[in-house]
Amino acid sequence: MDYRSGRHFLQIPGPTNVPERVLRAIDSQVIDHRGPAFARLGLEVLEGLRPLFKTTSPVIIYPASGTGAWEAALVNTLSPGDKVLMFETGHFAALWQGLAEKLGLSAEMVPGDWRHGVDPAAVEEQLRKDKGHQIRAVCAVHNETSTGVTSRIGEVRAAIDRAGHPALLLVDTISSLGSIDYRHDDWRVDVTIAGSQKGMMLPPGLSFNALSPRALLASKTARLVRSYWDWEPMLAANKTGFFPFTPATNLLYGLREALILLREEGLERVFQRHARHGEATRRAVRAWGLELNCADEREYSNALTAVLLPAGHDEARLRATILERFDMSLGQGLGKVRGKLFRIGHLGDFNDLTLCGTLCGVEMGLGLAGVPHQPGGVAAAMEYLSATPG
């Protein structure tokens, strides 16, 4: 491929654009992972992660994609044949269920339409029915990246409490942590699963489990086979800043810098920035006369927007046109919604003009690909951004 001048627009909902300061931090010499300099780095990032999850409990770092942290959450807390309750919010919920089944768990999926989040009333109903407390864990995807829907985890917690059920709560925040408000301790989540390459503004390659005292207790008796993912040797080594195997040293340099950036901007301001960009994007979509995939305004994702195309128009063609003409990548329709919707990522390291450029590319692409729409989406977003200071 010939050189394409200017910066590629990576507007998929993860991996996201990596800030220059994070790239510079990663571009450093590898150090001895058993030496004192590494111990300082390890302790700093392990401690620095806690406020991001809003927890005072330990956070574990794996050199792995988010899928590894999904597996880690299950194998450390559950035993063969255990029943877990899952909710079909979209493609990622379906993948997590498939993984649970392969591990020998009995994963019951509450059906969903891929346009709504986890229904707290359904959580309560399922748990109340489970008089014998067979369900060992409730598994929820906080931000369903395939559909642009954010589940109300605080309300899911309240539903579990109302049912008076002892199930653990496991939550996937791979595409929400660092972009959308999330509270591990307040919501008494037992394991929070996260990944580096979305809201955390890092390249792919790290993933996380934030624990609770109950999760740690469950890990003492959980019998699923585990070795690499085992929390116990990890927590023991982490006490002094080390890892039981070779850590991804350079990604940890990046993590240290990303945590500094998030602290400098302030987490609440980061969330507000994403909320503002989410709203501007939704205004653009409505002005185009297109339909948002998310069907409940309480569940709009501020990390990405999934846009339905009119019947007979294929999102793959639209995205190919935009990539070819404007050098921008957008998210494809995954699983059941393949061909039907495309996704605009507005998470991570992002500002007003990045959003305007992104929406310009979409609006021009809609025209070039012959997708019926009205002009004025970019104008609607610009008007909102101008009138609403960040």
Ligand X SMILES: *Cc1c(COP(=O)(O)O)cnc(C)c1O
Residues that bind ligand X (CB under 6 A): 14, 65-67, 92, 141, 145, 172, 174-175, 195, 204
Please report, to the nearest 10 degrees, the dihedral formed by the alpha carbons of residues 36, 38, 41, 45 taken in order. -120
Residue nearest to ligand X (CB): 66
Distance in Å, CB of 199 to ligand X, minimum: 10
Distance separating alpha carbons of residues 387 and 122, to the nearest angstrom? 39
Distance in Å, CB of 200 to ligand X, minimum: 11
Residue among 135 and 193 whose Cβ is closer to ligand X: 193
Distance in Å, CB of 65 to ligand X, minimum: 3
Percent helix, strand and coil across the chain, each rounded to 5?
45, 15, 40
Residue among 17 and 321 whose Cβ is closer to ligand X: 17
Distance in Å, CB of 197 to ligand X, minimum: 6
Residue among 274 and 283 whose Cβ is closer to ligand X: 274
Residue written as token pair 């595409």: 175
Distance separating alpha carbons of residues 11 and 352, to the nearest angstrom? 14
Distance in Å, CB of 107 to ligand X, minimum: 15
> Cβ-count burial of 368 within 10 angstroms (0-12 exposed, 13-18 middle, 19+ buried)?
middle
Q: CB within 8 A of 172, min separation 6: which ones?
A: 66, 70, 92, 96, 139, 140, 141, 142, 193
Residue among 66 and 178 whose Cβ is closer to ligand X: 66
Q: CB within 8 A of 20, min separation 6: which ones?
A: none
Residue among 63 and 241 whose Cβ is closer to ligand X: 63
* CA distance to 48, 168, 206, per residue, from 58 (Å): 11, 17, 16
Residue among 77 and 207 whose Cβ is closer to ligand X: 207
Residue among 202 and 359 whose Cβ is closer to ligand X: 202
Distance in Å, CB of 69 to ligand X, minimum: 8
Distance in Å, CB of 103 to ligand X, minimum: 16
* CA distance to 163, 221, 249, 273, 376, per residue, from 259 (Å): 37, 34, 15, 17, 37
Distance separating alpha carbons of residues 371 and 208, to the nearest angstrom? 40
Distance separating alpha carbons of residues 121 and 119, to the nearest angstrom? 5
Indicate the pairing of strand 135-141 with strand 168-172: parallel
